[in-house]
């Protein structure tokens, strides 16, 4: 059963609110402390705070001692993560979060990723927020979704001066996310919050269908005159269930013929036409025929009620003089096909139910068309489609 986590972004999100929400929803405090120790940051400690905003109480974390504006490059932070004793997948994913941040900063300042030096997000508190936030997702094994991100007005003080909110790099990190305007002032989404969302979460307007197991609240440090600076986290198990499937025994017809006087170029056309006419499968193989001549054996698998139409097509489109037939039985898994609208365009997919789970494969022809349109290799396009479909289920 898939475990889910959904964030209600009432006012936004920061890294310590992300961690606080998971703590409030039951992520063990011992795991947080183990994660801090595993980072190996010397005398750095983490305190968990209970914070109240407009009558609502949530949790947040504070990193001690406060480091101020540390100037670290991406390689420095990746080295800290690599030296740590965190689980390997956590090191990798936390590094990916920082790569997102570095790519955004590089675009803002016209630099390469290697030239970027983090200011606020290079300090120990940001490293701790991202590492612990990644560890929580890893431990709980959840698929994360989140609602639209509020975009507010006002300015924020940064190392390079005052900027309109959201901060420039944060705005780039929101690319691809739904946003909603809020006619209030204040920074409601921070770079670490946006980067964690971008790495782990899928946008979803409404909470996914689930059986709720825990609800947690993460709270930020900033007070707002009209909005509670609190994020709500729903934890649960997916309530979308696929009924278990059992293989079904069905009757099929097998049609076979051999030819040695047909141009091999037309076998592909014949196979395509037979499949288009409803054949379940069509294949051919080389065989040695009379007088030592090489020929091809054509095999067509179909439903019994398709036999007459397909035999007629074989006689019409090949040089054969006869077609053998036999009736067989086979065990089949439940299967189907449909066309879905993906972020890159419409694509056909086939699915089967295997051990109660729906396994999907996208049609290769559609993968090629989308890959060409996006300028991607077919394998990369297929991987993106598979990742999108996996997220879409929850």
> What pLDDT does residue 121 have?
66
> What pLDDT does residue 243 have?
54
* 155 lies in the same domain as 49: yes
pTM above 0.85, yes or no: no
* 187 lies in the same domain as 203: yes
Does 179 reside within a domain?
yes
Q: Maximum Cα–Cα distance for the chain, whole Å?
A: 94
Res. 242 pLDDT band, cuts 50 70 90: low
- Residue where a domain terminates, one of 313, 332, 351: 332
* 191 lies in the same domain as 340: no
> What pLDDT does residue 163 have?
74
> What pLDDT does residue 279 have?
93
- Mean pLDDT, residues 344-350: 90
Does 243 reside within a domain?
no
List the one residue out of 201, 190, 126 whose CA is nearest residue 158.
190
CA distance 56 to 18: 16
Residue length of the chain: 394
Q: Sign of the C-alpha dihedral, residues 79, 83, 88, 90?
A: negative
- In eight-state DSSP terms, residue 7 is E
> What pLDDT does residue 280 have?
93
Q: Is the pLDDT of residue 381 over 70?
A: yes
Q: What is the pLDDT of residues 86-111, one digit of tens each?
A: 999 999 999 999 999 999 888 988 88
Question: Could you tell me which residues come within 8 angstroms of residue 280 by beta carbon, excluding any fewer than 6 positions away?
Answer: 252, 301, 302, 303
Question: Do the Cβ atoms of 300 and 274 come closer than 8 Å?
Answer: yes
* 159 lies in the same domain as 213: yes
Q: What is the pLDDT of residues 177-212, one digit of tens each?
A: 888 888 888 788 889 999 999 999 988 878 888 899
* 174 lies in the same domain as 284: no
> What pLDDT does residue 198 have?
92
- Residue where a domain terminates, one of 177, 204, 238: 238
Res. 317 pLDDT band, cuts 50 70 90: very high
- Cis peptide leading into residue 166 (ω within 30°): yes
205 membership: H or E segment, kind and range = none
Question: Do the Cβ atoms of 191 and 103 come closer than 8 Å?
Answer: no
Range of 358's domain? 335-392
Q: Is the pLDDT of residue 117 over 60?
A: yes
206 membership: H or E segment, kind and range = none
Beta bridge partners of 170: none
For a pLDDT cut of 70, what percent of the chain falls above it?
94
CA distance 253 to 303: 6
Helix, strand, coil abundance in the chain, percent, nearest 5: 35, 35, 25
Q: What is the pLDDT of residues 11-54, one digit of tens each?
A: 889 999 999 999 999 999 999 999 999 999 988 999 999 999 88
Q: Indicate which CATH number applies to the domain containing 279.
A: 3.30.70.1380
Question: Do the Cβ atoms of 165 and 184 come closer than 8 Å?
Answer: no
Does 106 reside within a domain?
yes
> What pLDDT does residue 127 have?
93
> What pLDDT does residue 254 have?
95
381 membership: H or E segment, kind and range = helix 378-392
* 200 lies in the same domain as 150: yes
Question: Rounded to the nearest 5°, which phi and psi values hold at 346?
Answer: -70, 145
* 181 lies in the same domain as 39: yes
Total number of domains constituting the chain = 3
* 303 lies in the same domain as 374: no
> What pLDDT does residue 336 have?
84
Region of 177 (left: φ > 0; alpha: ψ -120 to 50; beta: rest) is beta
25 membership: H or E segment, kind and range = none
Residue 194: Cβ within 10 Å count:
28
* 304 lies in the same domain as 256: yes
Does 23 reside within a domain?
yes
CA distance 267 to 298: 9
> What pLDDT does residue 238 have?
84
Question: Could you tell me which residues come within 8 angstroms of residue 232 by beta carbon, excluding any fewer than 6 positions away?
Answer: 7, 8, 10, 21, 215, 216, 217
By the 10 Å C-beta count (0-12 exposed, 13-18 middle, 19+ buried), 294 is classed as exposed
* 201 lies in the same domain as 347: no
For the chain, report the end-to-end CA distance as a whole number of angstroms.
Answer: 11
Q: Is the pLDDT of residue 61 over 90?
A: yes
Using CA atoms, how far residue 265 sits from 231, 271, 296, 318, in Å, is 63, 11, 12, 11
- Residue where a domain terminates, one of 332, 357, 377: 332
Residue, of 117 and 309, whose pLDDT is higher: 309
* 327 lies in the same domain as 366: no
CA dihedral of 182, 185, 190, 194, whole degrees rounded to 10: 10
* 327 lies in the same domain as 378: no
């Amino acid at each position: 059963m898939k475990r889910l986590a959904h964030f209600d972004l009432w006012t936004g999100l920061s890294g310590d609110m992300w961690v606080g929400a998971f703590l409030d929803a039951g992520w063990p405090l011992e795991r947080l402390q183990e994660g801090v120790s595993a980072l190996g940051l010397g005398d750095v400690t983490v305190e968990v705070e209970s914070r109240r905003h407009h009558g609502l109480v949530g949790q947040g974390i504070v990193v001690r001692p406060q480091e101020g504006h540390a100037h670290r490059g991406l390689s420095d932070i990746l080295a800290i993560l690599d030296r740590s004793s965190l689980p390997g997948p956590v090191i990798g994913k936390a590094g990916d979060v920082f790569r997102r941040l570095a790519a955004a900063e590089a675009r803002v300042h016209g630099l390469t990723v290697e030239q970027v030096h983090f200011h606020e997000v290079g300090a120990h508190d940001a490293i701790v927020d991202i590492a612990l936030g990644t560890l929580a997702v890893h431990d709980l094994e959840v698929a994360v979704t989140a609602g639209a991100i509020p975009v507010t007005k006002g300015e924020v003080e940064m190392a390079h001066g005052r900027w309109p909110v959201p901060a420039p790099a944060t705005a780039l990190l929101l690319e691809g996310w739904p946003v909603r305007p809020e006619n209030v002032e204040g920074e409601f989404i921070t770079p670490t919050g946006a980067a964690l969302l971008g790495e782990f979460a899928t946008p979803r307007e409404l909470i996914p269908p689930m059986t709720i197991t825990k609800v947690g609240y993460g709270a930020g440090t900033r007070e707002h005159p009209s909005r509670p600076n609190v994020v709500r986290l729903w934890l649960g198990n997916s309530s979308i269930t696929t009924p278990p499937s059992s293989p079904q025994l069905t009757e099929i017809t097998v049609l076979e013929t051999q030819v040695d006087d047909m141009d091999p170029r037309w076998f592909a056309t014949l196979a395509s036409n037979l499949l288009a006419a409803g054949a379940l499968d069509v294949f051919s193989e080389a065989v040695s025929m009379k007088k030592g001549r090489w020929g091809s054996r054509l095999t067509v698998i179909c439903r019994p009620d398709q036999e007459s139409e397909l035999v007629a097509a074989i006689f019409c489109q090949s040089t054969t003089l006869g077609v053998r037939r036999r009736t067989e039985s086979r065990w089949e898994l439940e299967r189907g096909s449909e066309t879905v609208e993906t972020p890159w365009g419409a694509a056909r997919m086939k699915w089967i139910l295997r051990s109660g789970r729906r396994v999907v494969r996208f049609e290769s022809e559609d993968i090629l068309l989308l890959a060409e349109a996006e300028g991607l290799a077919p394998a990369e396009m297929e991987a993106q489609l598979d990742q999108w479909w996996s997220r879409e289920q929850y």
